[in-house]
């Protein structure tokens, strides 16, 4: 059994980790086999996401004063917390895909950009494009309009050069 000092150390470690992130999802994994748990941890590690199984009382104390504080009331039963500093969509995708294959895993709640989200919204979040994909789509939309304008303006000068060239050929003939 851990001593009070060890528990305080665990809380401060968790608090430091939770202060750095604003995206987290909580899952219940009761009845999950060790093999499946290792598979979940491997999938999260490959996606460069962090996963911790947290004791409820320590978790409640660790989230106080952090962006994950809205999850405080979800620390009930067996609790796993998966979090990411900047990719809530990737986090939701990995966990949703795993939960579809494993009925023992269920969502308890989550926080995205410091705001609590409902369990039903997690699947919708997993279907959204990632932040990088959205930025690239926005940049394409902004660039395509400028590119079309440049092509149209280039077309006018190109057509003028062709007309002048044709007039010169006619005068020579």
**pLDDT tens for each residue of the chain, 173 residues long:** 788 899 899 889 999 998 989 899 999 998 889 999 999 999 999 989 999 998 999 999 999 988 888 888 888 888 999 998 888 888 999 999 999 988 889 999 899 988 889 888 888 888 888 778 888 988 988 888 888 888 888 877 888 788 888 888 888 87
Of 99, 52, 108, 107, nearest in space to 75 by CA: 108
Q: Name the DSSP letter for residue 117.
A: E
Q: Return the pLDDT at 151.
A: 80
Q: Return the pLDDT at 165.
A: 87
When computed from its CA atoms, the radius of gyration of the chain, rounded to whole angstroms, is 27
Q: Return the pLDDT at 134.
A: 84
What is the token pair recorded at 117?
A: 């989200």
pTM above 0.75, yes or no: no
């Amino acid at each position: 059994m851990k001593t009070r000092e060890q528990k305080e150390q665990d809380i401060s470690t968790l608090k430091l980790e939770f202060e750095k992130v604003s995206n987290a999802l909580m899952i219940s994994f009761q009845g999950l086999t060790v093999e499946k748990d290792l598979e979940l941890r491997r999938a999260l590690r490959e996606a460069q996401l962090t996963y911790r199984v947290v004791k409820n009382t320590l978790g409640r104390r660790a989230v106080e004063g952090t962006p994950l504080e809205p999850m405080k009331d979800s620390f009930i039963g067996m609790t796993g917390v998966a979090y990411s500093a900047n990719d809530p969509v990737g986090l939701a995708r990995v966990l949703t895909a795993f939960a579809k294959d494993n009925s023992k895993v269920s969502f308890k709640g989550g926080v995205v950009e410091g705001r609590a989200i409902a369990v039903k919204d997690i699947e919708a979040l997993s279907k959204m494009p990632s932040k990088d994909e959205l930025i690239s789509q926005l940049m394409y939309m902004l660039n395509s309009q400028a590119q079309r304008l440049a092509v149209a303006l280039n077309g006018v000068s190109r057509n003028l050069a062709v007309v002048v060239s044709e007039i010169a050929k006619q005068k020579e003939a």
